[in-house]
Structures are given as C-alpha cells and as structure tokens.
Structure 1
C-alpha cells in the first residue's frame, strides 16, 4: 500500500470578539435616549398668575402684567365684549364693541399704544398687548377669522384663542 497522505487537520483558532466599540455605541445610545426623554417632556407656562401671595387676592394683589391683558369675548350676532385686566377688578370695564376699523380695531390700537407707553416706563419697551380671544359656542367661525385678521392688521403678535369661560364671563355674556 502506498503511503496515503495524512489528513491535515485545521488549527482551531481562538475566536475572540473585541467589544470595545459595542460598549461605546451602547453608552452613546443610552445618553441619546436620556436626552430625548428629557426634552420630550411637556413644558407648561404659567399665564397670568400673580407674583404676590395674599390671603385676599382680589383686594391686595396687583400684577403689572394685567395692564397688558385684554380679553375679547365673542358671542352670537357679531357681538364682541372687551375688558382689560381681571374681570372682578377691570382696568377697562366690560364694553360691547363692533367689528371693523372704527370698532375693535380702534380699541386694539388704542390699548396697544397705552400698553407700549406703560411698558416703556418700566424699561421694557418691547412688551405690547396680550389678547385673549374667547369665542363662545354661539359665535360663528367667521367671527373668529375676523378677529384673527384684526390681530394681523393691528400687528399684535401675542394672542391666544381659549375655549374656557369663567362663571363671571358666562354671566356677563348672558346679561348682554
């Protein structure tokens, strides 16, 4: 018999995986998701909350910002009721105005001018009027669009549309 060639056995190599890169990527992913989780939490802003602490906030608490806030209550039959400040101690008493340049636009421009003058005295000349628009369920969509147009025309950038009425505001709308 001839010499048969011997079977050559392959050498077994030690298989070793370097996990250094995997650990680095894992830590980067953990940090990424921690940052995204923190940034995605909803943030709230206090709006119109008094800075003072008083047992009787209706009598002893005064906010400088309440001079800047004008509320527009929209109701049916093209009715707008405006007041400035807080309803229980208003700076400008509730008053019914009409749409158009001689009605709501004139009122907004006058109030914005007063607010800008007052803010300039406080050293904050850029702080203009803040308008809170509250359409009732009886008001039409067209009335809301008209008011938003007036905000654009008058150059008032700080406004908010709110669907919440206080009980005093509901009584005010019912009485008019």
Structure 2
C-alpha cells in the first residue's frame, strides 16, 4: 500500500559526533484506487441497465398529405382537453341541433370508464378516439390522456391527436362561461 525508504545517507558525517538525519521518501500505491474505480463503474452500469424505460410508444403517421383517414361517426369519440384539467367529449360528429345533449364534460377519474365503455360498444375496426388540446391545456394533460389510452388497452392506430377547430374552441368557452369557469 504505502512504502517508506529508510536507508541512511551512506554515513558521511561532517564533524565528530554529528549524524546526518535520515531522508524518508514516501510512495503511495494506487492499485486499490483503480480497483475501486472499476467497482464504481460496474455498479453504475448495472443500476442503469436495471431501470425500465419510461418512454411511451407512439405510432406516427407517414407523411402523406393526400391520404386522410376515414372515421365512422358511430365509432368516433372526440376528447377535448381544456384549461384547469377539464375534459370535454362528444361522440360522432358535432351537430349544432343536438349540441346540448352531445357535448359533455368529464374529469380524469371518469374518462377511463368512458373510454372503456366506448371500446366495448364499438367494433374494433370502427373505433377511433380523436384527442384535441386547447391552447390553455397543459402538456401534462396530453400525456395523461395518452396514458389513459394505454391503460385502457386501446390498440395503437385507434387514437390520434388533431388540432382543435374554432367551433370547438368557442364551444368550450361558452361551456366554461355558463359554468362560471374563468
């Protein structure tokens, strides 16, 4: 580990009875430090490989602007993400004649049940969830709704994120104003 040189200087004396002091040289052996370094490296390599990845798998569409996905009204559920963690939804296509019965509000506790109910009631080939985020909704809301899709075992390709239309923005504003939400 450590070594000290204790050899005397050869016995050269200057004068009677004077002894020269011994020069001690020290040398530290760094071999154990290298071993410790390798142990630390292997520890961190093992701990990083044991942690699971927290990334979500996403299917992204191919860039083909001419090809639009056809969705049946009977199988579509549109989920609108508003401010203050609010969720609005409607089934099929938004119809102004039946707007009050069609446009509904929900929260993150109830939305999973609604997603599962729609999945059970609709043939898998017709099923499509359309997710639209308001400008005032947070990124966390979008991640939470995608997590709900994953938890509810909605197959990839049966949900999509789309831009919200001005009519939907206005409908959310009217609903929030009517309910006293600022």
TM-score, normalised via structure 2 length:
0.54
Match of 1:72 among 75, 79, 99: 79
Correspondence for 1:138: 136
| Contact kept in structure 2, 1:131 and 1:159, CA below 8 Å | yes
Q: Return the offset for 1:46.
A: 2.1
CA separation of 1:112 and 1:42: change in aligned 2, threshold 3 A = closer
| Contact kept in structure 2, 1:71 and 1:132, CA below 8 Å | yes
Task: Determine helix, strand or coil for the equivalent of 1:86.
Answer: coil
Match of 1:83 among 75, 82, 90: 90
Q: Which runs of 4+ in 1 moved over 3 A?
A: 40-44, 89-92
Correspondence for 2:66: 44
Match of 1:113 among 120, 124, 127: 120
Q: Return the offset for 1:113.
A: 1.0
TM-score, normalised via structure 1 length:
0.56
Task: Determine helix, strand or coil for the equivalent of 2:87.
Answer: strand
Q: How do 1:146-165 residues align onto structure 2 when only pairs under 5 Å count?
A: 146-157=144-155, 158-163=158-163, 165=164
Task: Determine helix, strand or coil for the equivalent of 2:88.
Answer: strand
Query: Which structure 1 residue ranges, 5 or more long, are not aligned?
Result: 1-39, 50-64, 117-125
- How big is the alpha-carbon RMSD for the aligned residues of Structure 1 and Structure 2? 2.5
Q: Return the offset for 1:107.
A: 0.5
Q: How far apart, in 2, do the equivalents of 1:155 and 1:145 lie? A: 15
Q: Return the offset for 1:43.
A: 5.8
Q: Return the offset for 1:162.
A: 1.3
Task: Determine helix, strand or coil for the equivalent of 2:89.
Answer: strand
